[in-house]
Amino acid sequence: MTQDEVNALPLLDPAALGRLRDELDDDEGVWKVFVRNFIAQLPQRTEKLRLALTTGDLPGSLDAVLSLKTSSQMVGAERLAELAMGLERSVRTETRDAASGNALPRLAAAHLKTIMKCGRQTSDLLQRYLDSAPGRK
């Protein structure tokens, strides 16, 4: 997927959020807790990814990028999930032949700024979605 195609993806997929709400909603608003946890944990996830990439930690990089991708998919954060998928593909491809100690910091420089910016935008949008959702907060 090209960068223009990634940028064309919505930050959030309302249908995915609707499915999450349908699957997890109960009297306590479990879906809201799930989304709030995603928002709260996103800075730690991106920091873990940054640290693993910049120190050349291949297993840590894969663990961190998979965590970011999967959690983003679960809340409907399409653009962030696609950015994580692209980074995952790059990590797997570029560390196949090259030493991960050299490739991973290069990938950090190429991907982290965009991922972190998208993460902030996604968190803000998710928070607005939570604030506007009917029912308990």
**Average of per-residue pLDDT across 35-40:** 95
Task: Spell out the domains of the chain, with CATH numbers in brackets.
Answer: 3-132 (1.20.120.160)
**Whether pLDDT at 39 is above 90:** yes
* Predicted TM-score (pTM) of this structure: 0.88
* DSSP line for the chain: --HHHHHHS-S--HHHHHHHHHHH-STT-HHHHHHHHHHHHHHHHHHHHHHHHHTT-HHHHHHHHHHHHHHHHHHT-HHHHHHHHHHHHHHHHHHHHS-HHHHHHHHHHHHHHHHHHHHHHHHHHHHHHHHHSSS--
pLDDT of residue 32: 86
Write down the pLDDT at residue 136.
46
The answer, yes or no, to whether residue 100 has pLDDT greater than 70, is no
Measured CA to CA in angstroms, residue 100 lies from 32, 36, 55, 56, 63 at distances of 38, 34, 9, 6, 14
Could you give the percent of the chain with pLDDT greater than 70?
Answer: 92
pLDDT tens digits for 44-55?
A: 999 999 999 999
Q: Which pLDDT band holds residue 107 (cuts at 50, 70, 90)?
A: very high
